[in-house]
Amino acid sequence: MLERSSGVQLHVSSLPGGRLGPEAYAFVDWLHRAGQSWWQLLPVGPPGQGRSPYKSPSAFAGWRGMLAEPAAPVSSEEIEAFRARHGYWASGWEAFAGRRALADQVRFGREWAALRAYAADRGVRLIGDVAIYVARGGADHLGHPSLFRDEVQSGVPPDAFSATGQLWGNPLYDWPALQRTGYRWWVERFRRLFELFDLARVDHFRGFVAAWEVPAGAHDARGGRWRRGPGHAVFDAARRELGDVPLIAEDLGVITPPVVALRERLGLPGMAVLQFAFDPDEPDSVHDPGRHREHQVLYTGTHDNDTLLGWWASLPDARRGLALDALRGVPGRELEWRMVRLAQASVARLCIVQVQDVLGLGSEARMNHPGRETGQWRWRLERGQLTRRHADRLRAVSEEAGRVRS
C-alpha cells in the first residue's frame, strides 16, 4: 500500500529551459517546501513524432535534449562500463542513434542519478511513465522485429476524447513470440525503468488484457478489434527476476472485469481522474469522489486532460451542477484550488495535481490534446512563475488532508 501522500506532475521538458540543470533542482526544492512526496514525469526517452514522449524511438535510452551539460567529458572506460551494464539494449541504440549515443547515455545517467539523489535527500521520489508501445521504425522495433506484428497498428476505439477513436500507429507486440523468450524484452525494460524511478505508471494497462488492433493503412481507429494480451505473465516474469516492481496501473478507458481482475491479482493501485467525475450518464463512475478507493492514485487531470480551469469552462450545465454539489462546503474562492482541495481530501492514498492547476492556468497551458498530431507537448514554465507562495499554499492544503510527512 502506498502511504498517504501527494505530488505534482511536471515533465522535464516543461521546466524553464527543459533540462536537468538548476531549474530541475529548484523544482525539487519547491516540491520539498510544498510538502510533496512525489514528482511525476512523463517518459524520458527521446521524443518521437509530433514531439510525443509516448512515441520515443527507444524504450530504454534517456533523451540527450534533457542534458544540462551535453558536452561533458566521457571516457572510453565509462562507455565500455555502460555497454557491459546495459548489454541488452546499448549496442542496438548505438547502431540506431550513432557514434556518440552511448556517451550521451553516460551523461544522462550521471545527471539523472545526481538529481534523483538530491530529491531523495529532500523526501521527494520520482514517478516514471511506461508507454506501453514503441515507435514504428525505432531502435526497439528495428532491433527486435520478431517481437512485433506489422500488419496491425495500435489505437483505442471511439471514446470521450475522439469520436473516431485514437489511431496511435505503433506496432503491436507478438505476444507468443515474447513468451518464447521469457518476456526478456519487458524484463529488461522494467530493469532499466527502476534504475531511474521509484514508482512508475503503466500507460494503457488494459492492453495487457486486450489491445485494440487496427489494420495497417487505416486512417482512423473505428475499424479495429480487440485482441487478447498476455495478462499477468509479463509481470510475473519481471518479479521473478527483479523482485518488487512498484507500478501504478493506468486503468482508464474501456475497463472490463478482466482488467480489474488483473490489476487486483497483481496488487497494483489503479487510477481515478477528477475531471472524469460528475457525469449524470455514469452515476456509478469510479471517478466520483464518493467512490474513490484507498488503494488508488487520484489525479486532478493527466497529461491528456485540460487544466482544471479549461475543463470547467467546457463543462455542460448538468455536469457543472454535480461538481458544485461535490464542492459544497469546500472553502475557497478560486475554482481550481477548491478542486485541488477536494482531490486532496480523497480517500485515495496518493493524489497528483498538475502544476498548471497550482498556477491557475487555462487551456493555453494544456500539454496534449489526444488525437491531434501537431502543436502538442510544448507547454513550459516561465522562470519565476512558480513561487514560494504557491508552495506554501499547496503545503497547507496537503497538510489539511493529512498528506505531508512530519
The residues annotated with a catalytic role in the active site are 203, 250, 304
Cell of 70: 551535453
Interatomic CA distance for residues 32 and 391, integer angstroms: 9
- 137 φ/ψ angles, rounded to the nearest 5 degrees: 80, 5
Q: Where are the alpha helices (DSSP H) in 15-85?
A: 22-33, 76-85
Interatomic CA distance for residues 107 and 219, integer angstroms: 40
Q: Where are the alpha helices (DSSP H) in 55-198?
A: 76-85, 90-97, 101-121, 139-143, 175-180, 184-196
Cell of 323: 461538481
Q: Where are the alpha helices (DSSP H) in 144-281?
A: 175-180, 184-196, 233-242, 257-266
- 210-215/199-202 β-pairing: unpaired
Cell of 135: 515507435
| Residue 142 burial (C-beta neighbours within 10 Å; 0-12, 13-18, 19+) | middle
Specify the long-range contacts of residues 320-327, CB closer than 8 Å, at least 24 apart: 320/278, 322/277, 322/278, 322/279, 322/280, 323/277, 323/278, 326/277, 326/278, 326/288, 326/289
| Sheet with strand 247-249: strands edge to edge | 247-249, 199-202, 125-130, 38-40, 5-9, 350-354, 296-299, 270-273
Interatomic CA distance for residues 402 and 313, integer angstroms: 30
Closest CA to 270 of 201, 353, 210, 208: 201
